[in-house]
Amino acid sequence: MNKVEFQDWGRVPYQEAWDRQTKLHQSVIARKLENRKKEKEGLPTETQQHYLLFCEHPPVYTLGKSGSLDHLLLNEQQLEEAGFEFFKINRGGDITYHGPGQVVGYPIFDLDCFFTDVHKYVRYLEEAVMRMLSDYGIESYREDGFTGVWLKPKGHLPKRKICAIGVHLSRWVTMHGFALNVNPSLDHFSNIVPCGIKDDDKEVSSMAKELGQYLNIEEVKERLKVHFADLFEFDYA
């Protein structure tokens, strides 16, 4: 069974987290390539590394490779005045927001040790979040044509996105991941077209908004950790 090292980085600036994540990602790829070389030479190999990283960011907007800059509704001066950072990054997807009150998860898994199917991987990320939400009595679903985790219309409320997902893979090693809205300021999503979705029947929500109370984010993390281990069938190192 695979072993995964869990790290909780707490609140960390986006650039620092990206740099640290990239360093780990490169180390996993390097070990993978070294193991392949050793296999060809008939030498013993090292156990592959895998990481599950949780963190929280100061307010920041990130734009994926397929995103449009038009979906950022603030100019550079407005961003600075409001205290937001902005980064163009190498994940898939459009623009999203990260900030206090979210659980941002960065799995760095060598999928050669799990399964080499990127669509299945994204579905598993969604499923881990959906199972955790179910623990809190929140019913979620997948919206056809969109990634992430959604809540069905209820009363006067439209479809609501509660978790955004954007990933990047190199040599089947993953990086980036998901951003789950636990207790964030939803007002900060008004400065963007979230995930590039302009539909009037869709908006953004959070666990706190749905349940009418702030949640213990550490408990949410623990539930996520359990479901990740169950779904991907690994133990924590």
Positions annotated as catalytic residues are 195
* The token pair that represents 43 in the structure block: 């030498």
Residue 181, φ and ψ in degrees, nearest 5? -85, 105
Rg of the chain on CA atoms, in Å: 18
Pairing relation of β-strands 102-108 and 51-56?
Answer: antiparallel
Q: How far apart are CA 151 and CA 205, in angstroms?
A: 8
Closest listed residue to residue 110, CA positions, set 26, 64, 174: 174
Q: Where are the alpha helices (DSSP H) in the chain?
A: 14-40, 76-82, 118-135, 207-211, 217-232
